[in-house]
């Protein structure tokens, strides 16, 4: 008879987990649904391991330039929104669609999306800033600038 309360407890946890999964599945927005599943997984890991689980939120620089949905998915609620980042150009090349494709030392890749003249060299320090209507602007040491979008 001692095993009955333990079985009932396990059964109650399974029902709770199932209802939590169904609640997450019902969320209409992808990033909200994923965040819900992540919270649920964190809770399950904490219960299984007996120690509190931690979630790592992406640094603000890591998510800078991503689409709003991807940015919200990656960063935690406490992350601050950066107005700009500064990095060094690791390499660059002419993109097949025109413009320049830049690889930065922080691992990000940016592509020029306008037809303005952009002069940049490997090793240059560039600043990418938020601009109007969700766009981004790159400034170079040559005092040329262009609209860019984050590719990776």
- Any idea where the domains of the chain sit in the sequence? 3-55, 57-152
- Give the per-residue pLDDT at 7: 43
- From 64, 78, 89, select the one nearest 139 (Cα to Cα): 89
| Contact in structure between 136 and 128 (CB atoms under 8 Å) | yes
Angle separating helix axes 3-25 and 30-49, nearest 10 degrees? 160
Whether pTM exceeds 0.75: no
Quick: pLDDT tens for 42-95. 888 777 775 544 444 455 567 777 776 666 666 554 345 789 999 999 999 998
């Amino acid at each position: 008879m001692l095993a009955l309360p333990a079985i009932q407890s396990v059964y109650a946890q399974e029902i709770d987990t199932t209802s939590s999964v169904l609640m997450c599945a019902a969320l209409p927005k992808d990033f909200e649904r994923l965040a819900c599943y992540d919270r649920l997984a964190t809770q399950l890991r904490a219960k299984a391991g007996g120690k509190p689980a931690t979630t790592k939120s992406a640094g603000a620089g890591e998510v800078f330039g991503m689409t709003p949905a991807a940015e919200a998915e990656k960063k935690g609620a406490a992350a601050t929104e950066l107005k700009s980042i500064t990095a060094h150009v690791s390499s660059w090349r002419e993109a097949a669609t025109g413009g320049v494709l830049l690889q930065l030392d922080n691992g990000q890749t940016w592509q020029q999306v306008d037809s303005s003249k952009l002069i940049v060299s490997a090793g240059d320090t560039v600043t990418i800033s938020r601009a109007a209507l969700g766009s981004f602007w790159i400034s170079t040491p040559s005092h040329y600038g262009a609209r860019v979008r984050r590719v990776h």
